[in-house]
């Protein structure tokens, strides 16, 4: 099979695709072998070789020399074999060059084409894998090529990569031919589509961006201890320094905020909070909830939980819009964080307030409304009229009646009884009993008056 430009084509593909030349030669030999068997039968012993000197594909058919032929595909008569090779003997395997291989037919040629394409794709996939496996976990630059079912196809030069829908920042949309940077999250060896998976929403992308912008991080002086993100909206990173004279937060912010602003622009305006890391969870959460002020923190190490008490006017700032600030702080620390205001924390220490919260279907928000209306316990709630409950709690009559029945059915605890007794001793109910002490009981007063009248009317004794 003489092909004048076959050798040149092999060399060119090897250079352009970076595929080993021998892999291409093997692919062509296998393709021709498959095509020959399609045309002449699969039982023939076929050998295909590429002649480097002539640039020719040579095909040989091997048959066994016998006296009498029983199978023409695998055997040849001794007389015919002697014509091809005078020195051949019985039972020898005689190789015969197959001529006119160029005319294999349409089906055989199509089969050869499919084999070559398949082998080249496998070889190219291996080249891509070997090229990018060392770059996994780094930032790569590319150009937006096209969009497929919400996924973005990025041209990296030698190959294409996929930026899945869940790896794209929701606030920003790219157009075709836009330049883009992303984190090479995964390099897959066995993949039907592109073996390269990118991401712009993972925490590692934010870390790598700071490594590029902050020399102190690249040198290991400043370390990023934790990251929490809601891509496109807000992020928190905790940093520490191995040298006392290097401010980790200032190093990441840069002069006039230049360093952090470069990262923010790459993330399309994502707000970034940079906080100092601390091994003490109480101090760490104090930093993580900034700019909100914190009154004090109660640490529960067994439950991995933090109770953070903040001033009343700082509660909404500490929680953030839709709970974003405290949610990111919780992810950053890896602790469950419960934020309460000073007033609510004080209420939770009151036994009457606890009795309200203990009622089924009564949460802290409803308990706050009742407590503010001077309904200080479940017992007080049971004594209030339904109309008043409807007005205070802003509920309908059925819900108000349910609350009243729940409060009435709840037994009074010992702590509530003791608290009620302490309240009486402090003089809060003295004003109600003082009139009785001054005037006495009505029966006693009437008895005193009648006794005085009798003494006036009775004549003196003689």
Cα gap 86→90, rounded to integer Å: 12
> Which residue has better confidence, 47 or 290?
290
According to the model, what pLDDT value does residue 279 have? 94
According to the model, what pLDDT value does residue 17 have? 65
CATH for 136-201, options being 2.40.10.340, 2.60.120.650, 2.40.50.140, 3.40.190.10: 2.40.50.140
**Which runs of consecutive H residues, i.e. helices, occur in 140-257?**
203-213, 215-218, 248-253
According to the model, what pLDDT value does residue 413 have? 56
Q: Per-residue pLDDT for 240 more than 70? A: yes
Q: Per-residue pLDDT for 58 more than 60? A: yes
According to the model, what pLDDT value does residue 100 have? 64
Domain residue ranges in the chain: 6-128, 136-201, 212-277, 350-424
Contact 116, 24 (CB under 8 A): no
Report the SS3 class of residue 1. coil
According to the model, what pLDDT value does residue 162 have? 93
According to the model, what pLDDT value does residue 333 have? 94
The top-scoring range by mean pLDDT among 36-40, 180-184, 458-462 is 180-184
Cα gap 409→404, rounded to integer Å: 9
Q: Per-residue pLDDT for 436 more than 50? A: no
pLDDT digits (tens, 9 = 90+) for 258-298: 999 999 999 988 999 999 999 999 999 999 998 899 999 99
User: Which residues sit opposite 307 in a β-bridge?
Assistant: 298, 338
CATH 3.30.1480.10 describes domain 6-128 = yes
Architecture of the structural domain at 350-424: Orthogonal Bundle (1.10)
The top-scoring range by mean pLDDT among 121-125, 146-150, 306-310 is 306-310
Q: Which of 37, 86, 42, 89 is nearest to 64 (CA)?
A: 89
CATH 3.40.50.12780 describes domain 212-277 = no
Res. 233 pLDDT band, cuts 50 70 90: very high
């Amino acid at each position: 099979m003489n092909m004048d430009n076959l050798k040149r084509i092999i060399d060119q593909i090897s250079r352009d695709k970076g595929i080993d030349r021998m892999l291409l030669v093997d692919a062509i030999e296998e393709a021709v072998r498959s095509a020959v068997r399609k045309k002449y039968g699969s039982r023939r012993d076929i050998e295909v070789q590429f002649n480097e000197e002539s640039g020719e594909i040579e095909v040989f058919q091997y048959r066994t020399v016998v006296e009498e032929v029983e199978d023409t595909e695998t055997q040849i008569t001794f007389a015919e074999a002697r014509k091809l090779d005078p020195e051949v003997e019985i039972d020898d395997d005689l190789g015969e060059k197959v001529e006119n291989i160029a005319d294999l037919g349409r089906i055989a040629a199509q089969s050869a084409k499919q084999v070559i394409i398949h082998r080249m794709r496998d070889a190219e996939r291996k080249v891509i894998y070997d090229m990018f496996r060392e770059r996994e976990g780094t930032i790569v630059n590319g150009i937006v090529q096209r969009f497929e079912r919400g996924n973005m196809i990025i041209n990296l030069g030698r190959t294409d990569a996929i930026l899945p829908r869940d790896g794209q920042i929701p606030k920003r949309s790219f157009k075709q031919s836009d330049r883009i940077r992303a984190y090479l999250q995964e390099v897959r060896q066995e993949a039907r589509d592109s073996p390269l998976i990118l991401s712009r929403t993972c925490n590692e992308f934010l870390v790598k961006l700071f490594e590029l912008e902050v020399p102190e991080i690249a040198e290991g002086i400043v370390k990023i201890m934790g990251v929490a993100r809601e891509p496109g909206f807000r992020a928190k990173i905790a940093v520490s320094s191995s040298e006392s004279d290097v401010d980790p937060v200032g190093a990441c912010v840069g002069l006039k905020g230049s360093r952090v602003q470069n990262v923010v622009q790459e993330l399309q305006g994502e707000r970034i909070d940079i906080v100092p890391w601390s091994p003490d969870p109480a101090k760490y959460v104090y930093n993580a909830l900034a700019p909100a002020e914190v009154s004090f923190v109660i640490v529960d190490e067994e439950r991995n939980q933090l109770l953070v008490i903040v001033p009343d006017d700082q509660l909404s700032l500490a929680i953030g819009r839709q709970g974003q600030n405290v949610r990111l702080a919780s992810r950053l620390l890896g602790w469950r964080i419960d934020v309460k205001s000073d007033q609510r924390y004080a209420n939770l220490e009151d036994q009457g307030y606890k009795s309200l919260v203990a009622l089924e279907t009564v949460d802290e928000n409803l308990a706050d409304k009742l407590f503010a209306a001077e309904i200080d316990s479940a017992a007080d709630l049971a004594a209030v009229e339904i109309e008043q409950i409807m007005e205070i709690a802003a509920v309908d009559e059925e819900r108000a009646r349910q609350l009243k029945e729940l409060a009435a059915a709840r037994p009074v605890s010992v702590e509530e009884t003791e608290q009620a007794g302490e309240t009486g001793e402090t003089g809060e109910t003295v004003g109600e009993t003082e009139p009785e002490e001054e005037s006495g009981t009505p029966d006693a007063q009437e008895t005193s008056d009648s006794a005085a009248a009798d003494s006036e009317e009775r004549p003196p004794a003689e």
